[in-house]
Amino acid sequence: MSTSAKRDLIEEYALVARALGAPHRLLLLEQLAQGERSVEVLASKVGMSVANSSQHLQQLRRAGLVTNRRDGKSVIYRLSDDETLVLMDLLQKHARRNLARVSEILRGLSGGDEAVEPISRAELAQRIAAGSVTLLDMRPADEYRMAHIPGARNAAVNALVRLAGAREQQGEIIAYCRGPYCIEALQAVAVLRNLGISARRMEGGLPEWRAEGREVVASDIE
Protein backbone atom coordinates (compact mmCIF):
# COMPACT_ATOMS: atom_id res chain seq x y z
CA MET A 1 0.00 0.00 0.00
CA SER A 2 1.33 3.42 -0.91
CA THR A 3 2.04 5.95 1.80
CA SER A 4 -0.66 8.21 0.36
CA ALA A 5 -3.26 5.45 0.35
CA LYS A 6 -2.43 4.45 3.91
CA ARG A 7 -2.72 8.05 5.05
CA ASP A 8 -6.13 8.29 3.40
CA LEU A 9 -7.23 5.06 5.07
CA ILE A 10 -6.08 6.18 8.51
CA GLU A 11 -7.92 9.46 8.03
CA GLU A 12 -11.15 7.53 7.47
CA TYR A 13 -10.57 5.54 10.66
CA ALA A 14 -9.91 8.80 12.48
CA LEU A 15 -13.26 10.12 11.22
CA VAL A 16 -15.00 7.46 13.32
CA ALA A 17 -12.80 8.21 16.34
CA ARG A 18 -13.52 11.94 16.09
CA ALA A 19 -17.26 11.26 15.87
CA LEU A 20 -17.05 9.36 19.16
CA GLY A 21 -15.01 12.12 20.78
CA ALA A 22 -17.87 14.34 21.98
CA PRO A 23 -19.92 13.55 25.12
CA HIS A 24 -23.19 14.68 23.53
CA ARG A 25 -22.69 12.25 20.65
CA LEU A 26 -22.18 9.38 23.06
CA LEU A 27 -25.43 10.39 24.79
CA LEU A 28 -27.20 10.42 21.43
CA LEU A 29 -25.84 6.97 20.60
CA GLU A 30 -27.02 5.68 23.97
CA GLN A 31 -30.52 6.94 23.17
CA LEU A 32 -30.50 5.44 19.70
CA ALA A 33 -29.42 2.09 21.15
CA GLN A 34 -32.90 1.93 22.73
CA GLY A 35 -34.60 2.35 19.35
CA GLU A 36 -35.01 4.80 16.50
CA ARG A 37 -35.95 8.36 17.41
CA SER A 38 -36.75 11.66 15.75
CA VAL A 39 -34.32 14.56 16.09
CA GLU A 40 -36.84 16.40 18.26
CA VAL A 41 -37.19 13.51 20.72
CA LEU A 42 -33.43 13.00 20.85
CA ALA A 43 -32.87 16.69 21.54
CA SER A 44 -35.32 16.57 24.45
CA LYS A 45 -33.75 13.40 25.84
CA VAL A 46 -30.20 14.73 25.93
CA GLY A 47 -31.03 18.33 26.83
CA MET A 48 -29.87 20.05 23.65
CA SER A 49 -31.50 22.25 21.05
CA VAL A 50 -32.83 20.58 17.93
CA ALA A 51 -30.26 22.45 15.83
CA ASN A 52 -27.29 21.28 17.93
CA SER A 53 -28.62 17.73 18.08
CA SER A 54 -29.00 17.69 14.32
CA GLN A 55 -25.37 18.82 13.85
CA HIS A 56 -24.07 16.10 16.16
CA LEU A 57 -26.22 13.48 14.43
CA GLN A 58 -24.86 14.53 11.05
CA GLN A 59 -21.32 13.96 12.36
CA LEU A 60 -22.35 10.49 13.52
CA ARG A 61 -23.95 9.77 10.16
CA ARG A 62 -20.85 10.87 8.23
CA ALA A 63 -18.86 8.40 10.34
CA GLY A 64 -21.29 5.62 9.44
CA LEU A 65 -22.47 5.15 13.04
CA VAL A 66 -26.10 6.09 12.42
CA THR A 67 -28.49 6.25 9.49
CA ASN A 68 -31.62 8.32 8.98
CA ARG A 69 -34.89 8.39 7.10
CA ARG A 70 -37.67 10.90 6.60
CA ASP A 71 -41.13 10.44 8.05
CA GLY A 72 -43.21 13.37 6.88
CA LYS A 73 -41.49 16.47 8.24
CA SER A 74 -39.47 14.52 10.81
CA VAL A 75 -36.02 13.00 10.39
CA ILE A 76 -35.75 9.66 12.16
CA TYR A 77 -32.36 8.29 13.22
CA ARG A 78 -31.24 4.81 14.18
CA LEU A 79 -27.93 3.01 14.79
CA SER A 80 -26.35 1.72 11.59
CA ASP A 81 -25.82 -1.73 13.12
CA ASP A 82 -24.95 -3.53 16.34
CA GLU A 83 -21.22 -2.94 15.81
CA THR A 84 -21.79 0.56 17.17
CA LEU A 85 -22.74 -1.07 20.48
CA VAL A 86 -19.41 -2.91 20.43
CA LEU A 87 -17.52 0.37 19.97
CA MET A 88 -19.43 1.99 22.83
CA ASP A 89 -18.69 -0.96 25.09
CA LEU A 90 -14.98 -0.93 24.23
CA LEU A 91 -14.77 2.75 25.18
CA GLN A 92 -16.19 2.16 28.65
CA LYS A 93 -14.11 -0.97 29.24
CA HIS A 94 -10.91 0.86 28.35
CA ALA A 95 -11.87 3.80 30.56
CA ARG A 96 -12.70 1.54 33.52
CA ARG A 97 -9.34 -0.21 33.26
CA ASN A 98 -7.14 2.82 32.69
CA LEU A 99 -8.73 6.01 34.03
CA ALA A 100 -8.62 6.50 37.79
CA ARG A 101 -11.38 9.11 37.68
CA VAL A 102 -13.76 6.58 36.12
CA SER A 103 -13.10 4.11 38.94
CA GLU A 104 -13.65 6.89 41.48
CA ILE A 105 -17.01 7.84 39.94
CA LEU A 106 -18.16 4.22 39.76
CA ARG A 107 -17.26 3.62 43.40
CA GLY A 108 -19.34 6.66 44.31
CA LEU A 109 -22.32 5.26 42.40
CA SER A 110 -21.86 1.95 44.22
CA GLY A 111 -21.99 3.56 47.64
CA GLY A 112 -18.22 3.81 48.08
CA ASP A 113 -17.57 0.12 47.47
CA GLU A 114 -16.22 -1.70 44.45
CA ALA A 115 -19.05 -2.46 42.04
CA VAL A 116 -20.52 -5.95 42.41
CA GLU A 117 -19.61 -8.30 39.56
CA PRO A 118 -22.47 -8.23 37.04
CA ILE A 119 -24.39 -11.30 35.97
CA SER A 120 -23.86 -12.37 32.36
CA ARG A 121 -26.77 -12.20 29.95
CA ALA A 122 -26.52 -15.94 29.31
CA GLU A 123 -26.76 -16.78 33.00
CA LEU A 124 -29.59 -14.31 33.48
CA ALA A 125 -31.56 -15.95 30.66
CA GLN A 126 -31.21 -19.31 32.40
CA ARG A 127 -32.32 -17.88 35.73
CA ILE A 128 -35.31 -16.11 34.18
CA ALA A 129 -36.38 -19.42 32.67
CA ALA A 130 -36.05 -21.04 36.08
CA GLY A 131 -38.03 -18.23 37.74
CA SER A 132 -35.27 -17.59 40.27
CA VAL A 133 -34.78 -13.83 39.83
CA THR A 134 -36.72 -10.59 40.07
CA LEU A 135 -35.89 -8.34 37.14
CA LEU A 136 -35.95 -4.53 37.24
CA ASP A 137 -35.74 -2.29 34.17
CA MET A 138 -34.30 1.01 35.42
CA ARG A 139 -34.84 3.01 32.24
CA PRO A 140 -37.46 5.75 31.80
CA ALA A 141 -41.03 4.56 31.24
CA ASP A 142 -41.12 5.49 27.54
CA GLU A 143 -38.04 3.36 26.83
CA TYR A 144 -39.51 0.50 28.86
CA ARG A 145 -42.70 0.66 26.80
CA MET A 146 -40.73 0.53 23.54
CA ALA A 147 -39.02 -2.73 24.51
CA HIS A 148 -38.00 -4.60 27.65
CA ILE A 149 -36.99 -8.05 28.79
CA PRO A 150 -40.10 -10.23 29.39
CA GLY A 151 -41.08 -10.23 33.04
CA ALA A 152 -39.11 -7.10 33.91
CA ARG A 153 -40.75 -4.49 36.09
CA ASN A 154 -40.14 -0.82 35.35
CA ALA A 155 -38.63 0.97 38.36
CA ALA A 156 -36.89 4.18 39.39
CA VAL A 157 -34.01 4.52 41.82
CA ASN A 158 -35.92 6.94 44.06
CA ALA A 159 -38.77 4.43 44.45
CA LEU A 160 -36.69 1.37 45.36
CA VAL A 161 -37.09 1.64 49.13
CA ARG A 162 -40.88 1.55 48.79
CA LEU A 163 -40.70 -1.17 46.14
CA ALA A 164 -38.42 -3.33 48.28
CA GLY A 165 -40.75 -2.99 51.27
CA ALA A 166 -43.81 -4.02 49.26
CA ARG A 167 -42.42 -6.94 47.27
CA GLU A 168 -42.38 -10.62 48.02
CA GLN A 169 -38.87 -12.05 47.81
CA GLN A 170 -38.33 -14.03 44.61
CA GLY A 171 -34.64 -14.76 44.49
CA GLU A 172 -31.96 -12.24 43.69
CA ILE A 173 -32.90 -8.90 42.16
CA ILE A 174 -31.22 -8.14 38.83
CA ALA A 175 -31.31 -4.58 37.51
CA TYR A 176 -30.52 -3.42 33.99
CA CYS A 177 -30.80 -0.21 32.01
CA ARG A 178 -29.54 1.33 28.77
CA GLY A 179 -26.18 -0.30 28.14
CA PRO A 180 -22.47 0.43 28.61
CA TYR A 181 -22.96 3.97 29.96
CA CYS A 182 -25.75 2.98 32.34
CA ILE A 183 -25.61 4.29 35.89
CA GLU A 184 -29.17 3.64 37.09
CA ALA A 185 -28.61 -0.11 37.45
CA LEU A 186 -25.44 0.53 39.47
CA GLN A 187 -27.32 2.91 41.73
CA ALA A 188 -30.21 0.47 42.11
CA VAL A 189 -27.88 -2.33 43.19
CA ALA A 190 -26.22 -0.06 45.77
CA VAL A 191 -29.58 0.99 47.24
CA LEU A 192 -30.91 -2.58 47.42
CA ARG A 193 -27.76 -4.05 48.91
CA ASN A 194 -27.77 -1.29 51.52
CA LEU A 195 -31.26 -2.54 52.44
CA GLY A 196 -29.86 -6.03 52.90
CA ILE A 197 -31.33 -7.35 49.64
CA SER A 198 -29.26 -9.53 47.29
CA ALA A 199 -28.93 -7.60 44.04
CA ARG A 200 -26.72 -7.36 40.98
CA ARG A 201 -26.86 -5.68 37.61
CA MET A 202 -26.95 -7.38 34.25
CA GLU A 203 -23.83 -7.10 32.12
CA GLY A 204 -24.60 -4.59 29.37
CA GLY A 205 -28.18 -3.45 28.95
CA LEU A 206 -31.34 -3.92 26.95
CA PRO A 207 -29.62 -3.12 23.59
CA GLU A 208 -26.97 -5.84 24.08
CA TRP A 209 -29.62 -8.34 25.20
CA ARG A 210 -31.63 -7.63 22.05
CA ALA A 211 -28.55 -7.69 19.79
CA GLU A 212 -27.93 -11.29 20.86
CA GLY A 213 -31.34 -12.23 19.48
CA ARG A 214 -32.94 -12.60 22.91
CA GLU A 215 -36.64 -11.90 23.35
CA VAL A 216 -37.93 -8.42 24.12
CA VAL A 217 -41.52 -7.25 24.42
CA ALA A 218 -43.31 -3.92 24.18
CA SER A 219 -45.89 -2.72 26.67
CA ASP A 220 -48.28 0.13 27.38
CA ILE A 221 -48.03 -0.59 31.10
CA GLU A 222 -45.37 1.14 33.21
DSSP 36-75: -EEHHHHHHHHT--HHHHHHHHHHHHHTTSEEEEEETTEE
- As for how many domains the chain has, the answer is 2
Q: Is residue 182 annotated as part of the catalytic site, yes or no?
A: no
CATH number at residue 23: 1.10.10.10
Read off φ and ψ for residue 67, nearest 5 degrees. -130, 165
Q: Beta partners for 51? A: none
What pLDDT does residue 109 have? 84
pLDDT at position 187 over 80: yes
For the ranges 42-46, 48-52, 165-169, 189-193, which has the lowest average pLDDT? 165-169
Strand extents, DSSP E, 164-206: 172-176, 199-201
Query: What local confidence, expressed as pLDDT, does residue 171 receive?
Result: 80
Q: Which of 177, 185, 186, 211 is catalytic?
A: 177
Give the list of residues 6+ apart from residue 155 with CB closer than 8 angstroms, or none.
Answer: 136, 137, 138, 163, 175, 188
User: How many CA atoms does the CB half-sphere of 36 hold within 13 Å?
Assistant: 13
Taking 70 as the threshold, does the pLDDT of residue 1 lie above it?
no
- 112 & 59 share domain: no
Tell me: pLDDT of 153 over 80.
yes
User: Distance between CA 32 and CA 77 in Å, rounded?
Assistant: 7
What CATH number did the domain enclosing 207 receive? 3.40.250.10
Does the predicted model carry a pTM greater than 0.85? yes
| Average pLDDT of every residue of the chain | 91
Residues 45 and 116 in one domain: no
Q: Which domain holds residue 152?
A: 100-211
Q: Are 128 and 186 in contact (CB under 8 A)?
A: no
In a domain, 135, yes or no: yes
Give the pLDDT of residue 219. Answer: 82
